[in-house]
Structure 1
Amino acid sequence: MKPAPFDYVAATDLSEALDALQEGGSDARVIAGGQSLVPMLNMRLARPATLVDITRIPELSRIEAKGDQIIIGAAVRQATLESWPDLADRLPLVRAAISWVGHTQLRNRGTVCGSVAHADPSAELPLCLLALGGTVTLRRRRKTRTVAARDFFQGMMSTDLAPGEMITSVSIPARKQGTGYAFREVARRHGDFAIVACAAIARPDGSSTLTVGGVADTPQTLDLPADTTGRDDRLNEFAWHLQARDDLHATARYRRDLVRRLGRTTLKEALSCRD
């Protein structure tokens, strides 16, 4: 199929992009990598009147370290982040997860912020952003606001993004000394959407968090104390709380078992990686 007709704006600066989005309102969409949007256009599941291309805007194509935050612009491709020299040192959780994001061809075109905006509950980058306590910076013509990832993701492919607004960057806290990070995933094939994905963070005091994607409508987090007594019971209760459903890829029971087993393994790995 072919997409419905639309106007195309190849913005060369942020002001031009924001003006086009303001004028288009709810009928305007941003395109950068297009790995999610283009198939939706072709199947006519999305029918925007205007597409605003942001790939020619230099300020949106940067990865910057500012203090303890890593700022990733809206036009930064996943492959660019994957090859960033400081990734393993500054964002070890993202480094562990990013090779699971689609396949090489998709990462060469897809953007980090595009995955965040799409908000697929099985996607790895939104999971990491939420697990690490990251934020999303949103701009419109006369207003900028910053939203915590836990508030930005509102449901399956549903976010706090308003008409006339675009993501300009995401900010992710860098690695903290003495903290361990681990990521594990089960998918039908490497690079497919996760059946269950787990991101674990173990702190110096022994407390930890486990964030799980692929089960609920948004990634969900379990906080665990340093005392490991009853940890398996907590994982079991957490798995039931996620209310997994049967679908084409896995049964609810299989997903619950994965949350328990994969979660336990991921937490142990994070605890062993503390430095």
Structure 2
Amino acid sequence: MSSEATTLLEELASRIGATDVFVLVPVDDGMLFNVDGVGRGAGWAGNVTLQAADEPVLARAVAERLVTFDGSHPRRVFGPYWARKAAAVAVQDTVVVFGGDHLEVASAEILATAVSIRGAAMDSVRPTKLEADQAEIDQARRTVAEAVDLDMSARAVHLAASAATALGCEYAAVYLREESPTPFIADRGWRPVASSEEVTAAILPLWQAARQGPVVEQDVSQSARVHRPLGWDDGVVSAAAVPLGSEGAAGVLVVVHTGIRPRGFTVLCTRVLEAIGEAGTELLAT
């Protein structure tokens, strides 16, 4: 997208106080795909794909054309996106979602702005964005490999720290089945108030689930696999896990987002986490 087109989307969004805009276009079988936007909508372009019928806010927008909410606390709007204020507008077969703390949810301009946004937005993800996404994955792999000269414990901590940093998470933990019953952790502003044994007990269900492949819980309040001290009441809003080794033979890598910066995990987040898990498996086996 040209800088002029980007500026236009930002100007349109600013009319109603939106800092995030998502343009979700239809693809096969009722799926919606984020192709463009503002703020997180731009940053996550190409990395949000979801079934509209499975997302209450989007499903209501399709049926009613306009859905808004204005809450005192952030809530999940759709997929990985959380916001305190949001509006979802159906524009023909596309859904435009606005979000931000200063969004004017009662504005009479929301519908017209959504139509203008759709008209100005891209119809596909720009190639430079796809290239940047791949570069992010490659960099995550390289960062993990930097710990090759460290001992096993330090490698595990480095692996957790690499995941937390790459995904902007407040907490990450590496559980190694044969190495230690105590998880190796990296905290970036949040840590569970619990013993190591309690944290391990909360990690084990995620390890069991991740043995079949990556696990993503966009809203832990709705999950039966996330328990205290990594649960909703502890401040966690979303969680993800990937196996270390074939079917998690070596262990599991777990990352969480909290209420400090509430959000979930995009397709790119999952790809980055998988790449870190694969590189971490190699690192820990060396």
Regarding TM over 0.5, the answer is no
Q: Which has the larger radius of gyration?
A: 2
Bigger helix share: 2
State the TM-score, normalizing by the size of structure 1. 0.29
